[in-house]
Amino acid sequence: MTVAETCALAKKNACAAANLTEEARNRMLTLAAQALCSRAQEIIKANEKDISACTRGEQFIDRLRLSDSRIAEIAEGLTQLCALPCPAGEVLERYQTENGLDISRVRVPFGVVGIIYEARPNVTADAIGLCLKSGNAVVLRGSKDAYFSNAAIVEAMKEAWRQGGFACEFVQLIEDCSREGAREFMRQKKYLDVLIPRGSAALIQSALENSTVPVIETGTGNCHIYLESSALPEKALSILMNAKTQRTSVCNAAESLVLDESFAQKHLATIVSALQNAGVEVVGDAAAQAICSAVSPAEEEDFFTEFLSLKISVKIVRDIGEAIPFINAHSTGHSEAIVTENQEHAERFLREIDSACVYVNASTRFTDGFEFGFGAEMGISTQKLHARGPMGLRELTSYQYRIRGNGQIRK
């Protein structure tokens, strides 16, 4: 099938996804989870085919590799979705106009969600589960490197549904994994209601450049921790170390440390020493170097970089009035935190920082659908249109106005 034909097939079957009962959705999630486990050996065999054809590095292959335990985790994720209610159908508001029109605004599924992602086969099952639970059809365009793994996962889930007597054609996997196929996918506006790229900055940039389908931009996080002069040193260090080192390869990890000069004078040496003991490379501006000689010189570019590794940039500011514009100018709009005991400054930071998630006295690592209590996550939006921050089931819906009249015409 061509890319367009695959998308058209999903659209044709979108109604089937939207009209399922809650009971049917949960039954399908359970069947899919069981099928992944019972067909784990087949899936692992397909995965081995992908791995043996793959010429990429170890880290890449590590993300691609499936095992019994990883498949069990993926299946567990599907099962957990059963506990969450489908958000579609909720009446968001209902009112009467003067001429007697009864207007309701009702939450509805998007229709067809397109997902383009890299060589992480777990995304395949996750995305199908989230779309099923939110009432959406889904077209998956995974990486060529994971094609056999993805196909095996999709086939296991769909076959379980077929046997259970359920519709399954609202889930489609693109066969054409070429670069041209990706571009074509991004232009299926006729069939896709939204496109969600999940993966590297390059992939997301390509979607922004090429897509005619509305895109939800996800993921890049140049996150800042700002230690204000009133911060308690222990709390500051604990939050910073957690945000920078607990897991470095994720978008909600800290990449930049901003300190009030007065706080830095007293505490920067201790902080840098703790960071370096944890293996973190510390680069900073001239002021930071002057205060602490263990800080290496930073390039201007470092302050714009999401390192995703054991490296951090340090910037010294006079006060919050200088910190906020610095952060707004360098952040990617993901997550930023202030550590402070000054209530007024805390509230100012919350109000004036232009990011999806703004924290007072907590680690940026909490920006996550599960941590926020959504029970599931489709990614973290860094744009302002539609959804911002962690996206769960609710963020996979749109709304529709339903208007009931008794013959009203416009004067």
Please check whether residue 333 is in contact with residue 304, taking contact to mean a CB–CB distance below 8 angstroms: no
Closest to a second copy by CB, 296 vs 398, is: 398
Question: Do 223 and 248 touch, CB atoms closer than 8 A?
Answer: no
| Cβ nearer to a second copy, comparing 118 with 193 | 193
Residues forming contacts to a second copy in the complex (CB under 8 A) are 15, 95, 97, 101, 103, 110-111, 189, 193-194, 208-209, 212, 214-217, 235, 238-239, 242-243, 246, 346, 350, 352, 354-363, 365-367, 371-373, 383-386, 388-389, 398-410
Nearer to a second copy, 217 or 302 (CB): 217
Element housing 333 (H / E):
none
CB of 389 to a second copy, least distance (A): 5
- Compute CA distances 201 → 219, 220, 332, 365, whole Å: 8, 7, 11, 19
Closer CB to a second copy, 113 or 291, in the complex: 113
Least separation in angstroms between CB 258 and a second copy? 18
* H or E segment to which residue 16 belongs: helix 14-18
Strand order in the sheet with 137-141: 171-173, 137-141, 112-117, 194-198
Letter for the amino acid at 196? I
DSSP 8-state secondary structure symbol assigned to residue 85: P
273 or 408: whose CB is closer to a second copy? 408
CB of 278 to a second copy, least distance (A): 14
Coil, strand or helix at 148 = helix
Task: Give me the least distance between CB of 128 and a second copy, in Å please.
Answer: 20
Q: How far is the CB of 262 from a second copy (least distance, A)?
A: 21
Widest Cα–Cα separation across the chain? 79
Q: How far is the CB of 235 from a second copy (least distance, A)?
A: 5
In the complex with a second copy, the residue whose CB is nearer, 8 or 78, is 8
For residues 368 and 256, the answer to whether their CB atoms sit within 8 Å is no
